[in-house]
Amino acid sequence: MRLELIIVDDSPLWLSLAEKLAKTHPLVRSVLTFEDSYDAWVHIQIAKPQVVMSDIEMPGMNGLSFLEMFGNRMPFISSSTKQDFEEVARELGCVDFISKPFTKSEFHKSIDLVYNKIYGRKANA
C-alpha cells in the first residue's frame, strides 16, 4: 500500500523540492502539487487524498486554515520557515511539522510517520 500525496506551497522552489523528495520515497505512489491554495482546497474536497503536505505561510488560505478544515479527516504534514508555527499546527492536528529548509531524511521521516498513522504500522519499504 502506497500513499497519494498532495503538496501545497506558494513557493515554486519549495514545491519543486518537496515533489522531488516525495518521488524518491518508496511508499509514495503519486504526488500532485499546487501553488495556489484555493485550487488545492477544491481538489482536496473532491479527491480526498490520503495525505496533504502544506506550507503554513501562504497568501489567501494558509496552512493553518487547511488544518482547521481538513486536519480531522486526513493526515497533514505542515511546513514553515518559522518554527513558531509548530505548536499551533500540532494542536490543530498535523501529524508532523517540518522546518524549512528540510533534508531528505527529515522529509522521508514525515512520510513514514504518516504511513504509520494511516496503516497503524511501520513502513516496510
Supply the pLDDT for residue 41: 94
Q: CA distances (Å), 4 to each of 31, 48, 50, 52, in order?
A: 6, 10, 6, 9
Q: Residue 54 maps to which CATH number?
A: 3.40.50.2300
Examine residue 104 and state whether it is found in any structural domain, yes or no. yes
Q: Is 98 part of any domain?
A: yes
Give every strand in the sheet of 28-34, ordered side by side. 28-34, 3-8, 51-55, 76-80, 96-99
Instruction: Output 125 or 3, whichever has higher pLDDT.
Output: 3
Could you give the number of structural domains in the chain? 1
The answer, yes or no, to whether residue 125 has pLDDT greater than 70, is: no
pLDDT tens digits, 4-26? 999 999 999 999 999 999 999 99
pTM of the model: 0.93
Look at residues 113, 71, 117, 120 and name the one whose alpha carbon lies nearest to residue 94. Answer: 71
- Dihedral of CA atoms 103, 90, 36, 74 in degrees, nearest 10, equals 100
pLDDT digits (tens, 9 = 90+) for 81-108: 999 999 999 999 999 999 999 999 999 9
CA 62 to chain centre: 13
Residue 125 lies in a domain: no
Range of the domain at 109: 3-84+94-119
